[in-house]
Structure 1
């Protein structure tokens, strides 16, 4: 995997879509994991400090020792890490907005068998801004054309599937989301663009280095498979330049 940052205590890589971070009961048949691949790549043990969903691509950080893992995990848990994502969604979103919508914890029947199913919804906040729009002359559903937006998002809390669930809540689901998305538009992207992935990517991460105390900023483009769809929608260089708008 592409290494985005590496020093004596931590490493950040670009995780491709479709790769689990580590072994999970949710997908017992999977044999490849980011943790294993990074360990083999750098030749030493690595420690996960945050999660990135299997279908989501982008920046993934590992610690290289237990003390650094605890320090980084504390930053993520305390909400001190600023995370930025890009997504292609159905419809034209507002130019910018804040989604403040509490989420009930999503429980897996196997992995979360002992969790409390009656736990109250937890506060969840996501900021977003629209970068680009596209209208295609293809009827999908009841409309004569199909509209899409490229959005940049910053979740201020870290609930499970927060971005995907929040975008569904405002009726702009992520393309390629088979759990929270729109099946008709997912199928349209498979048929017309050959898209087989969730169009959601973690493109920037800002944290405090756990030992030096200095700010550390990491950025990456969403990836070649994401960029191919962006180009097909006429948005050009925006996929390759993390801060660029259409």
Structure 2
């Protein structure tokens, strides 16, 4: 079972590891986060947002169709605050907002997309940023950081293969350096603010420590 961050009658929040797809319809995988959670709690679960297979961190499943609709509306309307930690190439500005259209899904038309970021650590040739996407587009954080010439380490799609191999061989960074650290919203049925956080997993924590990243 995936680590459970919160569980109540209408939704469950888990900590997804890197390498596990969320939903078979998005990946074709026989085993996904949906299967893991469904089998562990013994009831149907509904995916309401996407995390890339390579991304770890906070993931929400609704537990009935009405709750799924409520969460999907919240995500679509930007009423959920999402924060990601991303280790990127180069020294970024201290903070900024990226406005650049990207598709909602593979092969789809480009639509407006916005991501704010704040640098939380800098090295000689690297930066760790807290990225906050204000929309939900395909590979949004990865595409937007690449757009400003700061691609993520370990990114096979938008990064540099030679650099990725170098950090894998020297520091053991064998995955995408992107972690969904927190997700916050007004509880749909109680109206109170809630925030769920996932600690940095060992497959990022240990390489970050060897690289010298300070969080």
In the superposition, the TM-score normalised over structure 2's length comes to 0.94
In the alignment, which residue of structure 2 is the partner of 1:143? none
CA distance in 2, matches of 1:106, 1:213: 31
1:156 to 131, 134, 143: 134
Query: Residues 73 and 104 from structure 1, CA distance in 2 versus in 1: closer, same or farther, beyond 3 angstroms?
Result: closer
Cα offset, 1:104, TM superposition: 4.3
Gaps of 5+ in 2: none
Residue 105 of structure 1 and its aligned partner are, at CA, apart by 5.2
Q: Please name the residue that 1:130 is paired with.
A: 119
Task: Note if contact 2:105-2:137 (Cα within 8 Å) is conserved in structure 1.
Answer: no
Q: How far is 1:46 from its partner?
A: 1.0
**1:62–1:106 distance in 2 versus 1, CA, 3 Å:** closer
Distance 2:27 2:48 in 1: 20
Q: Deviations over 1:59-98 (max 9, x none)?
A: 0000111111111111011111110000111111111111
Which whole-Å deviations, capped at 9, do the CAs of 1:86-122 have from their partners, x for residues lacking one? 01111111111111112245525xxxxxxxx6x3x31
* Larger mean Cα displacement after TM superposition, 97-106 or 52-61: 97-106
Partner of 2:123, secondary structure, is strand
Partner residue in 2 for 1:103: 102
Partner of 2:3: 2
| Residues 1:184 and 2:173 are matched in the alignment | no
Partner of 1:113: none
The superposition leaves residues 176-197 of structure 1 with CA deviations (integer Å, 9 ceiling, x where unpaired) of 1100111121111111122221
Number of matched residues?
Answer: 214
| Aligned pairs (5 A) from 1:1-246 | 1-24=2-25, 27-28=27-28, 30-104=29-103, 107=106, 119=109, 121-135=110-124, 147-236=125-214, 238=215
2:106–2:138: 8 Å Cα contact kept in structure 1? no
Q: Would you say the 8 A contact 1:46–1:64 is kept in 2?
A: yes
